[in-house]
Structure 1
């Protein structure tokens, strides 16, 4: 996934980085205790509220340092790849073995269970070979360090759970209710910016529901409380001393590396919804199997819709729960289990919160009529499966996308079916077959290819070394190409 260059994910150090609001009736109470924090026990002078919160909650905020071993090319001093091949061939004694380097990073976290469970960001710890947790404000040189174990990391929400083994009960911070946060409400951020342990900053909630391109479940709290590299994973607290968010990113305007008053935190309700799954080591999410888009004003007018709310189905994945329940392309999903679907970014968050195997009811507008469809929600496919499919397409040396409607119309393709080739690597199997960018693949082995899912199905059903007969449309002409699949290495 690509992030905007203006958004910085701020675990301190060059860490290599690898659907979010769970609301309404789908919310499941986690096993973690969510009782009132100490700060709520008595009335507090507003002028001293943050003094009290800082004193009572900082002991539960930890510093997280990580180490990651990476392999560096021993020929790094030779920048040109062709020159590297030349040296490898004629001067093999100059070839060095890959060197192992260690990348270090700093982040923050906070204790949520007294026996050592700690929440932080996925990008702080997910790829680390070693995780070290320490307590204290940095003044105590005798502060003990604890090796930590990664229990689970969820890159889609940028949340991770780690654990340390301790012989004493640790101080904890209570989790609040981020749905009750209001714009303008005061908040406090605690963390480890630039390695300055347990630093405290204060600001307000600048906005809610921000979508910044981080992932499919974007629903960030925006705050002007100063957040900097090293704050990743630290808590954002309300005036009752409860965690309402996990600090995760900052906006820099493409210029500065540090804070300019625009920071983002993951709503704590998102964390509570998957906490029990994190403790079990794997997050399970509901899945429909549709590609969706927003209803624009133009689409609203063209389709005769009453408003621009809802999620327009642009594609239904083969053998998915949506297909099996009768969802069709051009359906507009306006509700799920009685909850209104406001946009295409809203639907994935609602679906993800539903337990796989649960029946749900979709409210749909189809051909101007509102209908209800019952669907048996599936489990979202694992990232490993998606990566395997991506790797196979990479081996073919060809990238494809669903064909845009305008291109299909211009090329005279009925029904807009097919996938368009967007790039071909020279010398790859696709290049050898004669495919070029702009080709539209309409059939593979005499079977229609209407979308990416059917294309990938045709590829994955063939064996390594097999040949696939492809019918492609190039301009206004149809061609037959033979794609030879690479053999397994």
Structure 2
């Protein structure tokens, strides 16, 4: 593979806008704090570099309190002194210092942080306009494109590395809006918060995480896409906080089994498994079992994509939503268009948290086996006050109660437990144990391989489960 002839001119043009960020935090205690995790560094006897290595590896402090220091990277996006970095670089810091390539050091104040995307915006007060860089269009970045990272790995500021985009849309379970660009450009500890440039000098990503068994680069690094970062940075600068759109849906992934059970044309979209009471979508237009395929003119490929798209949409906007819905059991799914006015996610999270009720203080007793024969490894019972008490079910819950699950059965393999409530089978409501057994028997008679079941836990949260019939 032949790379670019040289990135020297590009690095020279951009390096002054990339900064090192040092933070300190006072930590009470008598135990010495470990230094940064770095490889063993040695220099010849008498070398002036030895003092640098010693300072890097050894902590300083008194017996009563230690000042823990950390290093990271960032970049200037506005000549007036706006700096972008990762939230984890400056989290819990008492002091934040931005170090520039010319040796200038400026104290920084936090403009705003967003833990959900691990981004932070800082402000410094320069005496003259600063060199700055601009965000690019990360959606145009292709797998195989050359990219360049500049940062502060292991405290060695101004380090330039080059690689390619290895993958897009990576989910590493770092947050609710994971959509990382993966690169093999060397990224190490201290690169966090630094920019990932395309070959035009635009910031297409913000380096934030690596996968490594050693702490050093093995060629798997992750960057926050610029388009996601731009929206966050813009809101933090304007409001000092995030104001994300909120739909008020509980979502579930569309699997092959669920797509077959719902009669979907393909395995795409976000399955609605629940609607938050009094949330924006609680207006009767969206129903449990709908599959969201388009939102505000944008395609929804998976259940992971929809929350991010909604969050990027302005609060209070009335958006058009396309859903796939089975309007009748004997009819194929149809596309239905609805409209919902978005709320604010941060307000919704507070409301949901305040509405959560503590578990009831009731004793749990082992359920006695019921006389009916097990179906798919489950025994069913009509809902009764005694069962609600036994399994601590929410008062408003209705449906059929699973009272026993056979070990190593199809139901057990799907994580179904005693106390689960069956709401629907094959998208038809069930209200009695006889209903459940009859519908499952019919599915078997009809030659169906799987049973699509809508189930609720004791708090009433819903999920779709596909249980093999044979």
- Higher relative contact order (Cα pairs below 8 Å, separated by 6+ residues): 1
Q: Where does the alignment leave 5 or more consecutive residues of structure 1 unmatched?
A: 1-44, 75-97, 399-405, 420-434, 452-472, 477-489
CA gap of 1:450–1:165, structure 2 versus 1, over 3 A, is farther
**CA RMSD, Structure 1 to Structure 2 (Å):** 3.4
Q: Which has the larger radius of gyration?
A: 2
- 2:309 paired with 1:350: yes
What is the CA–CA distance in structure 1 between the aligned matches of 2:251 and 2:378, rounded to whole Å? 21
Secondary structure of 1:261 counterpart: coil
Name the structure 2 match of 1:376.
341
- 2:211 paired with 1:266: no
- 2:277 paired with 1:318: yes
1:148-167 Cα distance to aligned partner (Å, 9 max, x none): 00101111111110011111
CA gap of 1:170–1:327, structure 2 versus 1, over 3 A, is same
Matches within 5 A, 1:58-73: 58-72=15-29
Task: Quote how far apart the aligned CAs of 1:369 are.
Answer: 2.2
Matches within 5 A, 1:399-418: 410=379, 412=381
- The alignment covers a number of residue pairs equal to 350
1:354-411 Cα distance to aligned partner (Å, 9 max, x none): 1111101111112122211110111102598389659985999x9xxxxxxx999656
8 A Cα contact 1:189 1:234, kept in partner: yes
TM-score, structure 2 normalization: 0.68
1:54-89 Cα distance to aligned partner (Å, 9 max, x none): 111111111101122344499xxxxxxxxxxxxxxx
Name the structure 2 match of 1:175.
135
Secondary structure of 2:234 counterpart: helix
Task: Quote how far apart the aligned CAs of 1:230 are.
Answer: 0.2
8 A Cα contact 1:246 1:268, kept in partner: yes
Name the structure 1 match of 2:434.
none
Task: Quote how far apart the aligned CAs of 1:450 are.
Answer: 7.3
Name the structure 1 match of 2:261.
302
- 2:152 paired with 1:192: yes
Name the structure 2 match of 1:146.
106
What is the CA–CA distance in structure 2 between the aligned matches of 1:352 and 1:271, rounded to whole Å? 12
Matches within 5 A, 1:287-298: 287-298=246-257
CA gap of 1:170–1:325, structure 2 versus 1, over 3 A, is farther
What is the CA–CA distance in structure 2 between the aligned matches of 1:242 and 1:62, rounded to whole Å? 16
Name the structure 2 match of 1:57.
14
What is the CA–CA distance in structure 2 between the aligned matches of 1:299 and 1:120, rounded to whole Å? 41
What is the CA–CA distance in structure 1 between the aligned matches of 2:22 and 2:297, rounded to whole Å? 45
TM-score, structure 1 normalization: 0.65
What is the CA–CA distance in structure 1 between the aligned matches of 2:201 and 2:142, rounded to whole Å? 16
What is the CA–CA distance in structure 2 between the aligned matches of 1:115 and 1:385, rounded to whole Å? 35
- 2:78 paired with 1:113: yes
